[in-house]
Amino acid sequence: MKKTLFLAFGLATALSNLALSGAALAQDRYRERPPVVVSPDLAAPWVMQLAGPNGRPVVYPRQAAQPRTIYQQREQQPVVRRGIFDRSPAQQVAMRPQPLRSQIEPQFLPQTVAYDTKEKAGTIVIDTNNRFLYLVTGNGQARRYGVGVGKPGFEWAGEHRVTRKAEWPDWTPPSEMIQREAAKGHYLPARMDGGPENPLGARAMYLGSTLYRIHGTNAPWSIGSAVSSGCIRMRNEDVTDLYERVNIGTKVIVM
């Protein structure tokens, strides 16, 4: 019995000493903790070093800045709404190219001017040299329009009466004109229906029994020039205005 108690007391004492030794050993292991070393590179993150007093700071290489991609907002295109009468792209390509001269000079636009004449109100006087048509209104005034006149070799002068009026007239080129243009390589149709592409334009006033007319045009940039085969041409909006002011039987003087 005594032997058993002695053995138990000895075992307990050994275990106690072992525990105290282990605690002391643990305290010795962590008695000197390694210092915290901060990287001197301010651009690098803070790194805790556990390699002891001889530890070296870990320096991460600085990464090159990546270029930023800037996306530009695409300019919004206007929405085009097409109607049933709009031309398709193929038809637009086939259209006649616009001339360089798209506007006439201001003096050829309609305006009321002082005009001294012995002719009665309602008379039309055409000054071919200056490319003006005057509609006498009386009281020393006239309504003046710019016109295109006959090219060299096709000038004429005289006095006639308006014998016929037509809206969007058809065009039947004279045989002489067809032959003359064919010699230049320009082939004219035997007849052309009235419309925006017709050389006679929106209105026509026929002079006497001649082939000459005061008419509109599909080439408004030619107003103020000598380019016709003898006819007096006007812008469509101008010939329409004159058409409403003139009656059959109106006297027309071409100078």
Whether 166 is in a domain gets the answer yes
Q: How many domains are there within the chain?
A: 1
pLDDT at 73: 45
Predicted pLDDT of residue 13:
60
Residue 215 annotated to the active site = yes
Q: Does 27 map to a domain?
A: no
For residue 167, what is the domain's CATH number? Answer: 2.40.440.10
Q: What is the domain extent for residue 227?
A: 106-254
Per-10-residue mean pLDDT of the chain, 255 residues long, equals: 50 56 53 53 46 50 51 46 41 42 82 97 98 97 98 95 97 87 86 92 97 96 94 97 98 98
pLDDT at 81: 45
231 is annotated as an active-site residue: yes
- Which of the following is catalytic: 144, 215, 233, 235? 215
Out of 205, 231, 239, 242, which one is annotated catalytic?
A: 231
Q: Does residue 86 lie within any of the structural domains?
A: no
Output the pLDDT for position 79.
44
How are strands ordered across the β-sheet holding 158-167? Answer: 111-114, 141-146, 132-138, 124-127, 251-254, 158-167, 203-207, 213-215, 232-233
Nearby residues of 133 by Cβ (< 8 Å), 6 or more positions away: 124, 125, 126, 127, 144, 145, 146, 147, 214, 232, 234, 242
Q: Is the separation of the CB atoms in 130 and 160 below 8 Å?
A: no
pLDDT of residue 23: 53
Per-residue pLDDT, 66: 54
| pTM value surpassing 0.85 | no
Residue 57 lies in a domain: no
